[in-house]
């Protein structure tokens, strides 16, 4: 999304907002990482206070994708830390959106990747490997499916059923 803001996309596409083809997530996320603007096709994951599957995904080549994790909105531990974010950066992920907490904030903020999360928390997650991959999730009042497109900047996060030509 070169130099076109999420606000401009919304202004230019009111019909897509009305139809539900373009949705804005509720403004509940904090901005982490050096890349404040990012976009890409979505990969979904649903976990709760467990980060094994997150790490597995981020070990794969990202190819400009965005990992969107429904962590159940838990504020009791961090499901994403600095090491997996460094790996995501090195593997070509465009960004990570977490409906949960992160830790190692200084390390994450040094990475050239976009990260959004509810907050930070010093306690680490469980390591049981429980969760669901590639399933529809609902975070920040918005249903998101694998293969949709996510656009994030400092104004907010948009999800579209298809890639927007802006």
Closest CA to 70 of 88, 97, 89, 52: 97
Per the annotation, does 71 bind a ligand? no
Q: Tokens representing 92?
A: 């070509």
Instruction: Using DSSP, state whether 160 is helix, strand or coil.
Output: strand
Per the annotation, does 81 bind a ligand? yes
- Please name the residues in contact with 35: beta carbons below 8 A apart, sequence gap of 6 or more: 94, 95, 112, 113, 114
Annotated binding residues for Mg(2+), written as ranges, equal 104
Known binding residues for substrate = 81-84, 103
Q: Binding site, residues?
A: 81-84, 103-104
């Amino acid at each position: 999304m070169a130099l076109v803001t999420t606000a401009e996309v919304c202004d230019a596409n009111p019909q897509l907002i009305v139809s539900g083809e373009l949705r804005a997530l509720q403004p509940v996320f904090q901005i982490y990482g050096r890349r404040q603007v990012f976009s890409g096709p979505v990969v979904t994951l649903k976990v709760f206070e467990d980060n094994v599957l997150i790490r597995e995904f981020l070990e794969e080549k990202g190819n400009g994708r965005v990992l969107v994790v429904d962590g159940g909105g838990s504020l009791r531990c961090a499901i994403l830390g600095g090491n997996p974010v460094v790996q995501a950066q090195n593997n070509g992920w465009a960004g990570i959106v977490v409906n949960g907490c992160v830790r190692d904030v200084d390390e994450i903020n040094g990475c050239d990747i976009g990260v959004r999360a509810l907050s930070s928390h010093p306690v680490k997650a469980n390591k049981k490997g429980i969760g669901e991959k590639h399933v529809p999730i609902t975070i920040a009042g918005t249903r998101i499916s694998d293969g949709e497109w996510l656009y994030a900047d400092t104004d907010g996060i948009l999800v579209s059923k298809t890639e927007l030509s802006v």
